[in-house]
Amino acid sequence: MKNIKKKIFITGTDTNVGKTLISCILLKKAQKFGFKSVGYKPVSCGSIIKKNNYKFNKDAYLLNKYSFKNFSLKDINPIHFDKSIPPHIASKINKKKICFKKMSNGLKNISKHANWILVEGAGGWHTPLSNKNKFSDWVILEKLPVLIIIAIKIGCINHAILTKNAILNSKLKCSGWIANNTYKKKETHHQEYISYLKKKLKIPFLGEVKFLKNKKINFNKIKINILLI
């Protein structure tokens, strides 16, 4: 495993589909296979926690927590805005340009210390970073394979198919998808949703994550096949 280098981009069919939660699970799974796994969040907005009088993005904090070792949060999340608004709007309000070079340099720096890197996006595939650039433009520039997190709910089939097609149209590899249950009560016809997606997406299905009460993670009970990525 030491000679293997992997970088995977995590996108979702929408915002609040559980990208960070599942990224944390994947990071721990990778460590069990001997990888030095690290989570990287190049751009974040909102989700603030305070620690030692400093403000941090909660998603970046969790990615760092479940990485194989702790890094500086600035290394994990080089570009952050306090408000929970789209990045291109936050960038304009704060007069702080979201620079692809800074995002890439951060990824390059993390790559010196890790051999299995999950790069978590913000929102969905076409989240804008400026009036000109989208998050997906940077992923294309870096030529990263993409993993889709799908929250099983009404509308997810349409969003999942559109997302997969957009990724493939970008000439990138779509490594697979994971079904995530974001509600305690399962969607009516839950299993039919998943069966239909398996047939129509035609990319590897890595597994399903059940609703996690209070976000407590029992890694041994969660079956996700990271070797398919």
Residues serving a catalytic function are 41
Quote the crossing angle between the two packed helices 135-142 and 100-111, to the nearest 10°: 50
For residues 37 and 67, is the Cβ–Cβ distance under 8 A?
yes
Q: Helix, strand, or coil here: 21? A: helix
| Cα 135 from Cα 126, distance rounded (Å) | 6
Q: Give the whole-angstrom CA distance, residue 113 versus residue 37.
A: 9
- CA distance linking residue 64 with residue 38, whole number of Å: 7
Chain mean position to CA 130:
20
DSSP-assigned letter for residue 134? B
Q: Which amino acid is at 153?
A: K
Determine the Cα–Cα distance for residues 92 and 95; give it in Å rounded to an integer. 5
